[in-house]
Copies of this chain bind each other. A is one copy, B any other.
Amino acid sequence: MASPPSFLSLLLLLNFVITAATISTTNSSTAMLRTYPGKHIVRAKSNPRCESWKFAVEVNAAGSWKSVPGTCIAFVRDYFNSDRYLSDSRTVVNYSLSFANSVKFNRKDKGRNAWVFDVDETLLSNLPYYRVNGYGSEAYNNTAFNEWVNKGLAPPLPMSLRLYKKLKHLGFKIFLLTGRGESQRNVTQRNLLEAGYFGWDKLIFRGAADEGKKAAVYKSEKRGELVKEGYIIQGSLGDQWSDLIGFALPNQSFKLPNPMYYIP
């Protein structure tokens, strides 16, 4: 005979009903978004030329680049579908965490220690889009990309989610600073929540006044506002060089890999 439903199982059922209700209104997904990569990953093949192209891109020697070179499309595809991408991200997140653990939470600083996260290719992965759009080898298509964004189906990057939760636990104020526009606020918020990100302090979008600004300028200005409000930006995580340069910089910035696209 089945045991009578416990309070816990009722709670779980209630949670399921609420989740299902939430999801039925998001017009698409049926459960929490599955974490990247979702399927079995393969061992990456090394290709010295493309390894060097990736190196140049990651240290910003390539400057403002438009698309993945034709000879490196397979390399980039293998990189993202192998243990390489996860391994690089894991290593960067481990360093981020050991830095975060070293940050002192004095009484005076309480509630002022902050961390800034980028969104695309940092908290959320657009790989499902890029998989069917040439892995960055095709010119950026604003219409097609926004259609994808508006679906709100980008999965979380597992290492970033882990860092996010630990930072919350440590007591950091969490600021999400994205290059996405205000018009994408609702879908982005919903996507983040479904991906497992909860309880951020502010989610900052490009407003009308930020249009046409270079990403590094827009992000510096927004960080500057946080500093003016009294926050101490201890760390940041982002995949672009525009997350690393400019002013009002964090005490330490951490760069995730992205050999797929460059944001000027």
Residues of A within 8 A of B (CB): 43-44, 46, 48-49, 51-53, 55-56, 58-63, 83-84, 87-88, 90-92, 95-96, 99, 252-255, 257
Contacts and interface: CB of A to CB of B under 8 A. Distances in A.
Nearest to A98: B63
Instruction: Determine how many copies of this chain the complex contains.
Output: 2
B48 A87 contact: yes
B255 A60 contact: yes
Nearest to A56: B91
A23 to B, nearest CB: 30
Contacts of A255: 59-61
Of residues A44, A52, A254, which shows the largest number of chain B Cβ atoms within 10 Å of its Cβ?
A: A52
Contacts of A53: 91
A149 B53 CA distance: 32
Nearest to A58: B59
Contacts of A55: 58, 88, 91-92, 257
Contact of A88 (B51, B84, B91, B257): B51
A83 B254 CA distance: 28
A83 B51 CA distance: 11
A232 to B, nearest CB: 18
Nearest to A92: B61
A83 B46 contact: no
Given A55-B91, A91-B55, A96 B61 contact: yes
Contacts of A96: 61
22 contacts: A43-B48, A44-B46, A48-B83, A48-B87, A49-B91, A51-B84, A51-B87, A52-B84, A52-B88, A52-B92, A55-B58, A55-B88, A55-B91, A55-B257, A56-B92, A56-B95, A59-B255, A60-B253, A61-B91, A61-B92, A63-B95, A63-B252
Of residues A46, A59, A63, A92, which shows the largest number of chain B Cβ atoms within 10 Å of its Cβ?
A: A59
